[in-house]
Amino acid sequence: MAKKILLAEDEKNVILGVRTCLDAVGYQIEIVEDGEQALDSVRREPPDLILLDLLMPNVDGYEVLKELKGKEETRDIPIIVLTAKAEEEDRQRAMDLGADNYMTKPFKPQELWDLLKNYLPEHDA
């Protein structure tokens, strides 16, 4: 079955890029443009995996991590951070908050697909 991915990202062009990338391999994708919407969406219908930007309006990615990884019912949803923040401190902070992986922009589609395959092995388009 096709796996569902929630993309939390506020840059329109990046959304287009990632969406194209995920469509190509048959993932179902839901897009939200800030952290608050991300939390709402997870509450409504938990995805199989979250691709999370860190710098977003309202509630930022760190807050989303804290909230989701701090709760029993959402703790097990894999969260991959997709961010332009390449400093080691940012990576460490995200990993400390429970991020499952951390990918810095820019990245190639193949790198994203490989990473997703690790967390969603039974995905079937």
Partner 1 sequence: MKLSNLPVPVNLDTVANNLADPLFLVNRDKEVNWLNKKSRELFHTSDEDAQGAVITELTGIAKLDSLLDDVFEQETELKCSYEEASVKVKRQDQRYFFKISINPIFHEGELWGGLVQFTDVTRFHEMEKIKTDFVSIVSHEFRTPLTTIIVGVEMLKEGMLGDLTPRGKEVLEAIGADCERLSRLIDNLMELSRIESGTIYVEAEPTDVTDLVQEAVRPLKFQAEKQGIELITDIAPNLPPVAADFNKAVWVMANLVGNAMRYTDPGGTITVRVRQRGKRLFFSVQDTGCGIPKEHQDKIFRKYVQVSGPGRKGTGGVGLGLAIAKDIVMAHGGEIWVDSELGKGTTFTFTFPVYYGDESVKLPEAEEKGG
- Binding residues (CB under 8 A) for partner 1: these are 11, 13-14, 16-18, 20-21, 24, 84-88, 104-110
Tell me how far apart the alpha carbons of residues 86 and 71 are, in angstroms, rounded to a whole number: 27
DSSP code for 74: T
Residue (of 124, 40, 85) closest to 116 by Cα position: 124
Nearest-approach distance from CB 67 to partner 1, in angstroms = 24
CB of 86 to partner 1, least distance (A): 6
| Residues 50 and 37: beta-carbon distance below 8 Å | no
Q: How far is the CB of 44 from partner 1 (least distance, A)?
A: 28
Q: What minimum distance in Å lies between the beta carbon of 88 and partner 1? A: 8
Contact (CB, 8 A) for 44 and 50: no
Q: Which is nearer to partner 1, 110 or 124 (CB)?
A: 110
The C-alpha atoms of residue 123 and residue 27 are separated, in whole angstroms, by 8
CA-based R_g, the chain, Å = 13
Nearer to partner 1, 22 or 32 (CB): 22
Distance, CA of 101 to CA of 27 (rounded, Å): 19
Q: Which is nearer to partner 1, 4 or 19 (CB)?
A: 19
Which is closer to partner 1, CB of 26 or CB of 70? 26
